[in-house]
Amino acid sequence: MIEQMKVLSFTHFVQGPAAAQYLADLGADVITVEPLSGAWERREGSGGMRLNGRSITFLSVNRNKRSMAIDLKHPEAATALEPLIASADVLLENYRGGALARLGLGYDAVRAINPAIIYASATGWGARGPMADRPGVDLLVQARAGLAAATGTPRNPHAAGTPVVDHHGAALLAMGVLAAYTRRLTTGAGTRVEASLLAAGLDLQAESFALYHSAGRRREDLERPPASACWSIDAPYGIYRLADGASVALAISGPMDGLGAALGSDEVAAFDGTARRIRRREYTELLAEVLGSLTYPEVEQRLAPAGFWFERVADYDDVLTDPQVVAEELVARMPVGDSEAHVLRHPIRFDGQRPPVTRPPAELGEHTREVLREVGLGEARIDELFVTGVISEPRAQQVNS
């Protein structure tokens, strides 16, 4: 779909690489420009977890890309970088503010080489304001953006349990690049695209934030019983523990007045809509007690015929074999040596198909020579760059393999 787009990805951690992976899935030629030691997610990765010596974080966000390894601080780095920049449609980066500029790769310097470039940056906190130069990562943004307080409560905040801001931020960054690319195709103009984890963390809460401030709510209104899933939506909307150790999520499916009858509880049935709202904690705790005496099969038997919306709470083992997940082909098995990694596929279908995995995550510098040939460097000059240490031979620089 975007096979003509060429992207230079100066990214690390999760947000930037995941954004580049979305673009690569859609057909863009994404060249990951890594330091000679490899990007962080290749060298380390979350929790140090590895499969056959490969960082699993790296495996999850680097398919369908090519890799070149270069010492950006080397005085001859420009020999390789300038023709790459001149031939690119997009430069994507998520280094801390000013880091690439200090290496001669800031927006103005890159635009001087390629005036039509789409220069897309993702930062933790944005490029302006008192926190512009501070490190920003997913958890810190969950805290600062109010997400931890909304996931738990202000008195008992909780992180979301997975780096949701990183991944939402990646999708927003990719969306920004695609919008700028559409503009470039129609006008020929480049664009400065700026995204941040802070903006992504707030964007995840667009409805909740508007409800809170537009309705004049207070911090106390965010406090809620443990079973309640959202401060702004009344019970039974929530997650409840059952007698057999399972948990059930109850959502809203229209009028809830019949819930008490379906559960066989006159006490629950006695709460009308007004009472459920005004006596929210009492109602939620009562409902939790009633559901806590039932098993999941019993809940299913009582609620399904009445048309209520509910689901059993799954864990990651359940998700892997979930018939709906399998039918939607959302998980892929990717060979890693003599093992297999389970990774998620691209989340969107196009004409009924999900974008394929055309390249496994590349070895460090695997495509350095290939990429430099494509931008016009001769073999002799490429060999010189290898000898002087500007770029690295792939086999000599495999990291932790």
> Over the stretch 213-231, which tens digit does the pLDDT of each residue have?
999 999 998 999 999 999 9
Instruction: Inform me whether the pLDDT recorded for 398 exceeds 70.
Output: no
Contacts 24+ apart (CB under 8 A), 38-44: 38/69, 38/364, 38/397, 38/399, 39/11, 39/12, 40/12, 40/13, 41/12, 41/13, 41/14, 41/17, 42/364, 42/399, 42/400, 43/399, 43/400
What is the Cα–Cα distance from 202 to 204, expressed in whole angstroms?
5
Residue 33: both structure tokens together? 């420009």
Say if CB 41 and CB 58 are below 8 A apart: yes
Rounded to two decimals, the pTM is: 0.94
Read off the pLDDT band of 166 (50, 70, 90): very high
| Cα torsion angle, 236, 240, 242, 246, sign | positive
Residue 18: both structure tokens together? 């995941």
Say if CB 322 and CB 300 are below 8 A apart: no
Give residue-wise pLDDT tens across range 315-327.
Answer: 999 999 999 999 9
Radius of gyration of the chain (CA): 25
What is the Cα–Cα distance from 129 to 126, expressed in whole angstroms?
8
The one-letter amino acid code at 69 reads A
Q: Is residue 280 classed as helix, strand or coil in its secondary structure?
A: helix
Instruction: Inform me whether the pLDDT recorded for 256 exceeds 90.
Output: no
Q: Is residue 224 classed as helix, strand or coil in its secondary structure?
A: coil
What is the Cα–Cα distance from 252 to 313, expressed in whole angstroms?
16
pLDDT given at position 395: 59
- Residue 279 Cα to chain centre, angstroms: 38
Instruction: Inform me whether the pLDDT recorded for 254 exceeds 80.
Output: no
Residue 332: both structure tokens together? 């892929």
Instruction: Inform me whether the pLDDT recorded for 13 exceeds 70.
Output: yes
Pairing of strands 54-55, 50-51: antiparallel
Say if CB 350 and CB 379 are below 8 A apart: no
Instruction: Return the residue matching tokens 């400065």.
Output: 192
Report the C-alpha dihedral over residues 176, 204, 134, 65, rounded to 10 degrees. Answer: -40
The one-letter amino acid code at 67 reads S
Instruction: Inform me whether the pLDDT recorded for 394 exceeds 90.
Output: no
Say if CB 197 and CB 208 are below 8 A apart: no
